[in-house]
Every structure is written in structure tokens, then in C-alpha cells.
Amino acid sequence: MSKLSKEELANIATLARLGLSEDELNRLGGQVGSILEFVEQLQKIDASGVKQTSQVTGLVDVWREDEVVRCELSREELLKNAPATEKGYIKVKRVLQ
């Protein structure tokens, strides 16, 4: 099953919306065949005694509690950082028409 016909490869390329030339189909045929042969080798491995893992680095998520912190800057100081303001608000481009 590791060998794909040129027609099968062209069909896969069409499904993936890839426009491949004849030269590309010929070149990719061998490469895809090699990949499929490797996958077949991997499928033959007996991994029944291997413990499943989701990651192997030992890293864990570090969570902290969210804390509300009062901003010490005034409204005017904050608005100085905005590229454009109008009537005390940050002015942005319209996103709805």
C-alpha cells in the first residue's frame, strides 16, 4: 500500500486544492511513497507496554490568581499613549459599516 499511483496522487492534490504539474507529480510520487513506507514501519511496532504520555518534558502549567490592581495613571496620562483621541476616548477606525 506504500505506493500511490499517479492518478491517486493527482486526486489527493485536487482534494487539497494543489495545482501540481506533471513534473511535480512524478517527483512527489517517490517522496510520498517513502513517507508511506516509513509509516507502515511505525505501524508494525508493538507499543502495547509503553505508557502513554501527552508530553515528555515534565513541564507543568503555572497558574496564579487574578488580582485587580488599581492603575495609578490618570485618564489623561493613559490617553497620551493613544495614537488618536476624541472627547476623552481612544479614537479607532470604524470596524462596522
60 in a structural domain: no
Instruction: Please report the pLDDT score of residue 73 as a whole number.
Output: 92
11 in a structural domain: yes
Instruction: Please report the pLDDT score of residue 96 as a whole number.
Output: 84
Number of domains observed in the structure of the chain: 1
The pLDDT tens digits of the residues spanning 55-86 come to: 778 788 888 899 999 989 999 999 999 999 99
How many CB atoms within 10 Å of residue 79? 16
What is the domain range of residue 15? 6-43
Residue pair 26/6 in contact by the 8 Å Cβ criterion: yes
94 in a structural domain: no
Instruction: Please report the pLDDT score of residue 2 as a whole number.
Output: 59
The pLDDT tens digits of the residues spanning 5-63 come to: 889 999 999 999 999 999 999 888 889 989 999 999 999 999 888 888 777 787 888 88
Residue pair 61/27 in contact by the 8 Å Cβ criterion: no
Task: Specify the pTM.
Answer: 0.47
